[in-house]
Structure 1
Amino acid sequence: MQKLALPLETITFSGELQQLVPESWFDDGYIPDMDQFVETISCIKSKGFRPDLIGSFITNFAYKFLPGLSGSGDERAIANLEVSPESVTTSWMKKRVFVETLVAILPPEKESIPCNFLLRLLPIANMVGVDPLYRDELEKRVSWHLDQASLDELMIPSFSHTCTTLLDVELVLRMVTRFVHMDGAARSGAALVKVARLVDWYLAEAATDSNLTLSQFVALATALPSHVRAADDALYRAVDMYLKAHPGMSKQERKSICKLVDSKKLSPEASLHVVQNERVPIRAIIQVLLSEQSKINKHIDWGGSFRGTRIPNPQPPEPLDRCLSMNKMNTQQMEIKRLKEDVLRLQSQCMAMEGQIERLLEKKKGIINWKKLVNFRKIVKSKFS
């Protein structure tokens, strides 16, 4: 390897950190000497530079000399890999040493290295087969900043011969689990919400893989506490994608995956989709309907008015105002009465359908009246649309 154009002792530490690097390091044809680079980093650290500046220096160096890290591709590197089988092995070994060296000299401070750089370095590390200690260090550092990751960056392909899925789901599961078990000071509530949303989006993408097992899906979906999801619409979408990509699931498996979704956290639009979804078990549909009924009950005062609409200490109205107010109140009461009747009728239909299902399950014979179920779904659609 070509050596530094300048001895280490002659490098000055004034001005920008970029000035520490000899110009020859940034020539296209130059191959850096990693030993000299490590010595330079050690010298920089001894001079008391801020960790984020040192991290910036390391990331710029890596983007310059590690093909594939920037995502733009390196045609010369690809051409060199096609020379002979021996050159392929040599190139991979060089990359492995390069990545392990970079990981070894990263500043220990959490904010010194950006998350997007680590997420680009991690797939390369897995591809060239770095030592498990270095891979574990990279995974730990990504976990520190997992709430800053994007979905595209998390779509890391699997390079393991034992893994049958296209995406490295086990890798993401390890990082999410690490993030959840970080101490509370580093893992805020807002960060948990961001990671939960990211996991739900990731599950929707991974669910289309027919090789993704139910246990893998459930493990990742339950890796985060349920209370961090304000709404379960995204999780329901992931569940629906999994049901669609795995049509051969048993009834018990479909029940178990649908239990992941909290029907109380579904929006009216998502609830309507569940009711009309033929892939969802009947029990899950009934649970959603009962939840929608419960939401309506919370907004209705069966004494004759909506909760929270009374004005404290109202002023006595004028006679004309009083007449208008009485007409308005009568109209409102009639609307409430009609809504109450609809809700009670819907509840009765839900209970009747649930009783029918229970009897069928106990007797283990007969079939569900699907015509009634279709009409029932139409009724629900008209009420919640």
Structure 2
Amino acid sequence: MANRQSTRLPKSTTLTDVQLYVNGLPFILDRELLASKSAKVAAILDENPNQDLSYFLRDISPDTETFELVLRFCHGFEPQISTENVIPIIGLADYLEMTEAHCRNNLLRRALIFFEQEVLPSWNETIKALRVADDFLQQAVQLGLVDACFRSLIEKAVADPHLLGAPMKNLSCDEDSEDADDAYRPNARRKLFVIDWKSEDLTVLSLQLFDAIIRSMNQHGVPPEFVASSVCQYTKRWVLSSTVGDETVSIYKRKTQRDVLEAVEKLLPYERGLVPCTLLFEMLRYAIVLEASSDCRTGFEIRIGKQLDQATVRDLLIPSQGYAKEVQYDIECLRRILRNFCGSYSPSSQFPGYIKVAELIEKFLAEIAADIDLKVNTFLSIVEMSAEVPTVTQRNSDGIYMAIDIYFHKHRYLTESEREQVCRVLDCRKLSLEACEHAARNERLPLRVVVQALFAAQLHIRDTITREVALFPDDKMIVKEEMEEEVVAEDEAMVIKEMKIMSNKVMELERECLVMRKELQKSCSLQQHNNHNDKNKQKNEKPSMWKEMKRKFGCITSIHDCNCQVKKKKVHP
């Protein structure tokens, strides 16, 4: 295509035509027209008019599109300068010395004006220009073009850090980069730099340029949470987008991924919470599979250790390399991470993360205990590792017991000696009363552990009684007063309840008494005419019952009753 376009260019006499090849494509140029714009070519021809110009580009390797644009400019065409070709044009124009000193309104000046007015003021255009500069990096650095782009980007990032993307702590590590863009809209300051609100990210740059720009941003005070976000996005694009251990990945790509991981590890900040713990674990897994340097893996382990309390059980499932037939876990890696965590926070500081990490290790232990391929030694290694955390947090060992019970349930083939070996890491004195009662009835446990669990349960009961009895004097008085108040309250409630019951009974008896009273009055009038022999019979009848009731209640219901008794005495002396 370049050759076809060059043939349409105006031609001079054949004596001045020169044919040369750029990237394998032939170009025909007029040396006099080229010399009119290029001081370098003019100097060569002044020294020797017949000098062969076919090798004058040996110190530079321009792309065919850029070289054709320069030739067209020499033939009088207006140069079509854009963000994508401005840096290559500046580089070739500078090499050819197409300056204002040699020719007015020359190509170099035009390209520099475009670069300063159209590229540098815009965040997006600057990143696009830098992406093209990778192919001419050495020359672009020498000309100061890369530094100019860096200064422009850093100035904008300091003024508006959201150009780098939203902080990772506010986003899930599985969210797309588009979510980070949607989380921010342009403010007035940002509109000075870009026309549209959606910004280009730095992930399009080569590792060399990305590493350099991030280091410069760290030195110039760009907030670390935004820098960390950009670094994570870069890692996702160039490393985490492929499957771990994919055999179809070429050796060159694996090396590129390894180089990116090792560079990214040095760029990531060490502050807690700036990078999601799950994402750090993913980076660590890739570093292990890609056989990154030990310094790289150690760096990820240290960062994970600072925020291990934010991890999940799934994060801890790091397969150990070298096992093809059975599932194994990198226990040594987890132990190093745990040590980094414990070394980052003093036990005296009462850091709440200790409890979370203790629960995390216990859940991880219970998760892998069901793995039928998990060997006894591997299980014991994890149990011993998890046992270190409760000693710091003063927690019980119920989680360890639960994991052991699950392991015994899934591994029924274990011998008695192997069960004894596993249970040696279990301290029954640290079990809760409920766990002790469960262990005492657990047929899967060795007899020795069952006896220890029974003894531990008795100690729990004894300690409970001792704590209730051996209270402080002040506490005794408080307890005594509370007990007295409770007794008084109970007595009052009981009295009220009894009074209600008695009241109901009295009302019922009064009704019965009223009926009996009427019957008694009737009987008394009849018995005045009876003889003495009927007296005993009358005493057993209802009047005697009425008298008995009056004696129980200690009262006389009416004057008539009293007169009735007197009459009876007179008639029957």
Give the shorter-chain TM-score range.
0.5 to 0.7
Report the CA distance between 1:104 and its aligned residue: 1.9
Q: Which runs of 5+ in 2 are unaligned?
A: 1-83, 88-126, 131-145, 166-193, 496-573
* Residues 79-133 of structure 1: per-residue CA shift (max 9 Å, x gap): xx78xx6x52222222111111111222244454332221121111111111111
CA distance in 2, matches of 1:99, 1:284: 48
Check 1:96–1:247 CA distance in 2 against 1; reply closer, same or farther (3 A cut). Answer: same
1:206 is aligned, of 359, 368, 372, to 368
Residue 55 (str. 1) matches residue 228 (str. 2): yes
- The alignment's TM-score, normalised by the length of structure 1, stands at 0.67
* Residues 35-74 of structure 1: per-residue CA shift (max 9 Å, x gap): 0101110221121122222212212332344334xxxxxx
Runs of 4+ in 1 over 6 A off after TM superposition: 21-24, 303-309, 315-318, 322-325
For residue 128 of structure 2, what is the amino acid of its counterpart? Answer: A
1:259 is aligned, of 393, 400, 424, to 424
Q: Is the 8 A contact 1:193 1:229 kept in 2?
A: no
Check 1:186–1:285 CA distance in 2 against 1; reply closer, same or farther (3 A cut). Answer: closer
State the secondary structure of the residue aligned to 2:129. coil
Match of 1:45 in 2: 218
2:160 is aligned, of 16, 35, 38, to 16
State the secondary structure of the residue aligned to 1:181. helix
1:5 is aligned, of 104, 122, 128, to 128
Report the number of matched residues: 308
Q: Is the 8 A contact 2:270 2:303 kept in 1?
A: no
Residue 134 (str. 1) matches residue 296 (str. 2): yes
Match of 1:338 in 2: none
Residue 244 (str. 1) matches residue 409 (str. 2): yes
Check 1:64–1:323 CA distance in 2 against 1; reply closer, same or farther (3 A cut). Answer: closer
Q: Is the 8 A contact 1:180 1:187 kept in 2?
A: no
Match of 1:221 in 2: 383
Report the CA distance between 1:210 and its aligned residue: 4.2
Between 1:138-147 and 1:267-276, the stretch displaced more is 267-276
2:480 is aligned, of 296, 311, 316, to 311
Residue 91 (str. 1) matches residue 260 (str. 2): no
Between 1:106-115 and 1:194-203, the stretch displaced more is 106-115
Q: Is the 8 A contact 2:309 2:353 kept in 1?
A: yes
Q: Is the 8 A contact 1:41 1:105 kept in 2?
A: yes
Q: How well do the aligned residues superpose, as a CA RMSD in angstroms? A: 4.0
State the secondary structure of the residue aligned to 1:48. coil
CA distance in 1, matches of 2:329, 2:222: 39
Residue 321 (str. 1) matches residue 491 (str. 2): yes
Higher relative contact order (CA 8 A, sep 6+): 1
State the secondary structure of the residue aligned to 1:244. helix
Q: Is the 8 A contact 2:331 2:381 kept in 1?
A: no
2:439 is aligned, of 255, 271, 274, to 274
Check 1:209–1:169 CA distance in 2 against 1; reply closer, same or farther (3 A cut). Answer: farther
* Residues 219-265 of structure 1: per-residue CA shift (max 9 Å, x gap): 33233144325232221111112223333433333223223333244
Residue correspondence of structure 1 range 105-116 to structure 2 within 5 A: 105-116=267-278
Match of 1:284 in 2: 449
Check 1:38–1:270 CA distance in 2 against 1; reply closer, same or farther (3 A cut). Answer: same
Check 1:20–1:277 CA distance in 2 against 1; reply closer, same or farther (3 A cut). Answer: closer
For residue 169 of structure 1, what is the amino acid of its counterpart? Answer: I
CA distance in 2, matches of 1:186, 1:116: 28
Report the CA distance between 1:310 and its aligned residue: 4.1
Residue correspondence of structure 1 range 73-222 to structure 2 within 5 A: 88-161=250-323, 165-184=327-346, 188-222=350-384
Q: Is the 8 A contact 1:200 1:234 kept in 2?
A: yes
CA distance in 1, matches of 2:403, 2:164: 49
Residue correspondence of structure 1 range 335-346 to structure 2 within 5 A: none
CA distance in 2, matches of 1:292, 1:316: 31
Check 1:322–1:294 CA distance in 2 against 1; reply closer, same or farther (3 A cut). Answer: farther
Q: Between Structure 1 and Structure 2, whose CA radius of gyration is higher?
A: 2
CA distance in 1, matches of 2:384, 2:235: 36
CA distance in 2, matches of 1:221, 1:118: 24
Q: Is the 8 A contact 2:398 2:431 kept in 1?
A: yes
Same amino acid, percent of matched pairs: 23
